[in-house]
Amino acid sequence: MSEMEEKKGVESPQFETRMDAPTADVENQTPSSGFGVAAITRRWKREDLLKRGSLALRGLAMVFSLLAFIVMASNRHGDWKDFDKYEEFRYVLAIAILSTLYTLGQVLRHVHELSTGRQMMQKRTSALIDFFGDQIISYLLISSASSAVPMTNRMREGADNLFTDSLAASISMQFLAFLALAFSALISGYKLSSQSYI
């Protein structure tokens, strides 16, 4: 530092201005990391957080849609109390299976990528599949859950038994899976756009 102060006297005024600028102050406070490095580290941390967040949300969606599938599929009590006599409950079951398979595949793929550090496909293809998959499955989940609600309500007006309670439980799980996947679609939409492909 003593050498630089000695130089200050003989150098041009341009050098003095640079030393007085606010960037120079910051550099003196933290000599090892400048502005650029801090911004990049922050960006890395944010991307890591987003990656783990969307993985957790997809895991939640998988659990909820698996529960919806199991509760609905085991809901057969004979006579009119069979879920497969009503098209809306068959729809709920079909979408629950689809959503379980989709989220399972996504979770396995992302866990594999996080643990090995290798990409299974191009980054752009991966982001596109993530976003459109999440968005389409979440539309299907809300659609199936709300299609099953009116019939369940009508049955519960007449009788409140094991069949209608299981229906209500399955629909609720489907709705929770929708919530998790809708948030995951938000995150993957942000990831898709923030990489300036278009």
Q: Contact residues for a second copy (CB under 8 A)?
A: 46, 86-88, 139, 142-147, 149-151, 153, 182, 189-190, 192-194, 196, 198
Q: Is the CB of 116 or the CB of 196 nearer to a second copy?
A: 196
Question: Minimal distance in Å, beta carbon 101 to a second copy?
Answer: 21
Assess contact for 76 and 185: CB atoms under 8 A: no
* Residue 97 structure tokens: 């299976």
Q: Is the CB of 107 or the CB of 186 nearer to a second copy?
A: 186
Q: Is the CB of 161 or the CB of 193 nearer to a second copy?
A: 193
Q: Is the CB of 63 or the CB of 142 nearer to a second copy?
A: 142
Question: Minimal distance in Å, beta carbon 119 to a second copy?
Answer: 21
Question: Minimal distance in Å, beta carbon 176 to a second copy?
Answer: 15
Question: Minimal distance in Å, beta carbon 193 to a second copy?
Answer: 3
Assess contact for 184 and 61: CB atoms under 8 A: yes
